[in-house]
Structure 1
């Protein structure tokens, strides 16, 4: 074009990149034809005088996943470099991480490809390297990342939005720019062609990089970046559910004792239905109880809504496909409906909006509607579990999934008509009195929507200008005069008509009076020191049944804080993880001969001897334990566990036997854990010894028996 020299470099590159995208978008274009078009583009682009090499990274910046800073003049020379300009709060930035990961699986630095994340913070909190490191660990990012808090590279190049991908050639000349998400296929094809093109010119170097992925020392037996927490109480139990997001699992915890009742999912990510052990989540966030048995989960990175059934010990998917969708309307049912990054979820129980066809309104059961803060599409969705007659008397079938509030634009727009309102990454949701409250994170505001007609109004934070998403800060006050910073969680106290907020990037918990739209900071102190408690990006919260205790998912502190709202003191809620006991059914079982005992009562003295075969020996100092694994409630014994005496290679069990009907059969089981060695090899032996009893008419009241267990390298037998 004639006036190219009058345009900024980034504008020219955007124009040329869009031209290439249009060419490659033609239907029925073969892979070979796509590669040929990209190679033609590269031949022109690499010789264009409009694109000199970009300036290097500034000095004294913090780097992650490398042992030293990277430089275009040094270790990045001779590489195809993909610069990912991102800010870690941005949902769209998160969406492209799978594309980058797939690309890195195809090509390594030795192949000539390097992905570098250039963190260009939107919020003040995001400039802190410690917070970025937490995000790097939370999202399992392993490629190099640099913290550019002053956005110097962003400004020098002229980047305009998050996320932006800039592909550079082996001399740091710009080749392609991709703004937004959804460019995975184009990016992969372009990198493939670029490596081919520059390899032919001998410009690609096969050198390695000083990579050193951030080591996460948080054990899987502890919480790892917990995202949300939810409370439930009925006549039988009092529970909290925790989305242990960094460990890709859901924990069901006794709210009184802290005992972890159920661990649902594995610590590795995946998308799989099944039992509690085999199912898999990927960075789950929101959780909601329908009752003590049914729990719903916003499985964020799987772009799905999952359902936990505690009675069946199972997990299934009720919405979403496992891949990100771009639908802004919905209408399909169940797993036919693709969704985008659900971040929070709540259960709303209501009757049909049109009751005229019911004979007796009091006989009509409440219907279950799941309300979802759909961060990826900037909307509120409804999953109509039971089917319902909804707003404007629309009849909606069971398990239908639809966008109910928000048009999909990323704005802070309030409106009387729900389809004309817009959110900016809704990330927290809770049911109030005839309304829902929403933590709209990217507009740094709390908003509410009527459950009668979907009308959206402001509560606190944000700005009157719906396009201004930079009205953030840390100011208590009223309505728009109050300022928050990327809030992620809300919880409504129905007893006091108050709304609690996790003001995430201000590291605070705040409380709103929705009658007058004012917000104040809760002055929370550490119960052990009386000093101000320092939250670290709290993301979720919930209240107990009487509203006196607030549970807070203190995400970057990897814990749940329990706040006494009467004293405003914080105490870490201690979760008690217990190792899963290996069931006897999974162990080898040895069955002894039946022992006859007296039916009128008496006792049994059982001496068990271990005999070793071959070169095997019991390991000195190692546990050689036995435990009565199961026995009838009628049997009494002075001790239920002990150690094998290595000197005598034996142990004894004494049982007091009750009176039983003649001819009665019973049994007890002994679990043994022996540790043996032979020729510097270890042989742990775990097995169960079953001892059958027969109650009959015999003369002796005291019965003495001896059992011999033979142990070798290959087997255990009696």
Structure 2
């Protein structure tokens, strides 16, 4: 492939010159922008520019589209639409801030001749896996095609320097703009509209919006009320109330469920549509709700994509906004009251006492500002003789610079996208623990003076945010990979951590300060089902402790796991929706049935009889579950979106003859499949049980 004289550095300089000119005199936006577009179109080295574009297109075409059955043919769009190439990854909070902008651009302009292509450019090892990227895409319901640049070949070829980065190309393959960083990408639409006008005669919109990624029927919006067909997907955080209730946030469903500790669901909070609406629980809306905490019999919610703190009152069954304007904030000091104060991507919450007057405050891990903020329920004294005014919200930890810097002065410390926070005890003193995700560290803050120190993970260099891994140990010798959830167990003085991108639960013993893996994956299938002390996690996220139980939001499995800390057992927590939702959930779905045929005298084990997983043709899990009753009759397993292409069912069964039980596993294809139902049949004879011993 020939080397073009035009490169990204030149591209960057040209765009920068335009932006600088507009910044000097914003009234000349149209004049400067039109002159820029005309100048590009009149260049005599157009072949070199197109060669630059073609090389990028070829790199993109060599990658796999993450979404299954998308129907997207990228090569058909490169010469008829305006191409917007969006470099992002799912761990990066700046990508999160701009993702809503990109979704909006796709929805508004895809029929006008704009094609958005997401190029996922990973930082972490966990992000290189296509299945994990696909989960992130599904969680956010991205409407445009995303390719998995797991080896960063497109990123390196372009010479990207920062996330997010956006490139815009014309239908004539001329490069037009490069926007780098969150602040520039936020203004993308201002420049895209003139480009559409400039290319009006040559842009051809795809027929019937063919490039949009089609959501499954269960993901389609319904109007005005809670969807009876929508599943709860991607649980994020968990709160156990003083009355012994559970509240769980679901980022994929944009809802909360409020239930009894045994799983009986009392309320579903939110319509399930992404939005920001207060009101009664059937009408209110959230956008990617995360952290939860109880105060004064109400649940406080970190409504991340709305950049707001919301409050759910289970008694009045209403939701109101406490903090935030609904727009991304840039303020790193604060001090305004309630909804006047803009904030950025709140992720987790906890209630703590002022070390001086013992009044309670709401602490917020503000991932978007790399800080910890405090909301004062009443006038409160804080560090450095600061008085937090009643109903005000202010930064109390972190300079706002993204780094891994410890300090005796809390406002000069550097955090990196903190996503978890909890109270605890260390050396007999009350402290705060922070899961500082992008530095892959756990930080500890002494409450009496605000001193910020490292507990485990990361690197001694405060500017190095690229040290991560999976290693037990103490201090910097321990390695984590993007930890998120954190909870302190006071009776045992153990700090529990979800090491999210290592798919592990870890704990730090406060006596030894050693971080060790806990409840690890084991090859013993019985352990994987939770009969002893092991389980499979897939991005474990928020955690909460109630008595001797640890609840974990196993996000990508869309499960809640419950660990008995006394017994060392782990089970999937079940929820009973029978008194909350209409049980008829077949709209837009097909029912999946399983029939098990056992030769005499075989029978399934009483109680936990086995597990099953239904997979699509790419080998990705559609749904899974357990068989918990003694039966060989036809069993309804789950409801599956009608457009899902089901390939197979994997199973593991405990089959018994008298008192002798053995594990039987295998794979079966659908025996029958229609638009409304799919049936699997498992046949087991005595030879299989003998061979499996």
Scaled by the length of structure 2, what TM-score is found? 0.76
Answer yes or no: is the 8 Å Cα contact 1:223–1:559 preserved in 2.
Answer: no
Answer yes or no: is the 8 Å Cα contact 1:447–1:456 preserved in 2.
Answer: yes
Answer yes or no: is the 8 Å Cα contact 1:62–1:129 preserved in 2.
Answer: no
Equivalence for 2:12: 14
Residues 366-405 of structure 1 mapped to structure 2, 5 A cutoff = 366-405=358-397
**Is 1:61 aligned to residue 70 of structure 2?**
no
SS in 1 for 2:507: strand
**Is 1:304 aligned to residue 308 of structure 2?**
yes
Equivalence for 1:280: 285
How far did 1:102 drift?
Answer: 2.4
Which digits, 9 at most, give the CA deviation of each residue in 1:535-556, with x for residues without a partner?
01011101113xx211000001
Answer yes or no: is the 8 Å Cα contact 2:114–2:205 preserved in 1.
Answer: no
How far did 1:529 drift?
Answer: 5.6
Alpha-carbon distance in 2 for matches of 1:45, 1:190: 15
Alpha-carbon distance in 2 for matches of 1:142, 1:205: 16
Alpha-carbon distance in 1 for matches of 2:416, 2:460: 14
Answer yes or no: is the 8 Å Cα contact 1:65–1:212 preserved in 2.
Answer: no
Question: CA separation of 1:190/1:28 partners in 2, compared to 1, >3 Å: closer, same or farther?
Answer: closer
How far did 1:531 drift?
Answer: 8.5
Residues 91-490 of structure 1 mapped to structure 2, 5 A cutoff = 91-108=93-110, 110-183=111-184, 186-200=187-201, 202=202, 209-215=210-216, 222-233=231-242, 237-255=243-261, 257-291=262-296, 293-350=297-354, 353=356, 366-433=358-425, 434-490=430-486
SS in 2 for 1:430: strand
Residues 617-632 of structure 1 mapped to structure 2, 5 A cutoff = none
Equivalence for 1:36: 31
SS in 2 for 1:535: coil
**Is 1:574 aligned to residue 574 of structure 2?**
yes
Which digits, 9 at most, give the CA deviation of each residue in 1:646-677, with x for residues without a partner?
xxxxxxxxxxxxxxxxxxxxxxxxxxxxxxxx
Question: CA separation of 1:48/1:466 partners in 2, compared to 1, >3 Å: closer, same or farther?
Answer: farther
Answer yes or no: is the 8 Å Cα contact 2:561–2:571 preserved in 1.
Answer: yes
Question: CA separation of 1:20/1:576 partners in 2, compared to 1, >3 Å: closer, same or farther?
Answer: same
Residues 536-685 of structure 1 mapped to structure 2, 5 A cutoff = 536-545=538-547, 548-580=548-580
How far did 1:134 drift?
Answer: 1.1
Question: CA separation of 1:521/1:48 partners in 2, compared to 1, >3 Å: closer, same or farther?
Answer: farther
Alpha-carbon distance in 2 for matches of 1:518, 1:45: 59
Question: CA separation of 1:430/1:9 partners in 2, compared to 1, >3 Å: closer, same or farther?
Answer: same
Answer yes or no: is the 8 Å Cα contact 2:63–2:148 preserved in 1.
Answer: no
Answer yes or no: is the 8 Å Cα contact 1:287–1:297 preserved in 2.
Answer: yes
Question: CA separation of 1:106/1:562 partners in 2, compared to 1, >3 Å: closer, same or farther?
Answer: same
Alpha-carbon distance in 2 for matches of 1:37, 1:338: 32
Bigger Rg, structure 1 or 2: 1
Flag structure 1 segments of 5+ consecutive residues without an equivalent.
356-365, 583-718
Answer yes or no: is the 8 Å Cα contact 1:115–1:144 preserved in 2.
Answer: yes
Scaled by the length of structure 1, what TM-score is found? 0.73
SS in 2 for 1:183: helix
Question: CA separation of 1:512/1:28 partners in 2, compared to 1, >3 Å: closer, same or farther?
Answer: same
Equivalence for 1:697: none
How far did 1:172 drift?
Answer: 3.3
Which digits, 9 at most, give the CA deviation of each residue in 1:19-76, with x for residues without a partner?
21222235662xxx5233212111222426363324112525243276356445x332
Answer yes or no: is the 8 Å Cα contact 1:507–1:536 preserved in 2.
Answer: yes
How far did 1:6 drift?
Answer: 13
Aligned-residue RMSD, C-alpha? 2.4
Question: CA separation of 1:514/1:161 partners in 2, compared to 1, >3 Å: closer, same or farther?
Answer: farther
Which digits, 9 at most, give the CA deviation of each residue in 1:622-661, with x for residues without a partner?
xxxxxxxxxxxxxxxxxxxxxxxxxxxxxxxxxxxxxxxx
Alpha-carbon distance in 2 for matches of 1:394, 1:220: 50
Which digits, 9 at most, give the CA deviation of each residue in 1:380-411, with x for residues without a partner?
11111112011122222111111111111111
SS in 2 for 1:286: strand
Answer yes or no: is the 8 Å Cα contact 2:281–2:319 preserved in 1.
Answer: yes
SS in 2 for 1:63: coil
Alpha-carbon distance in 1 for matches of 2:407, 2:6: 38
SS in 1 for 2:552: strand
SS in 1 for 2:259: strand
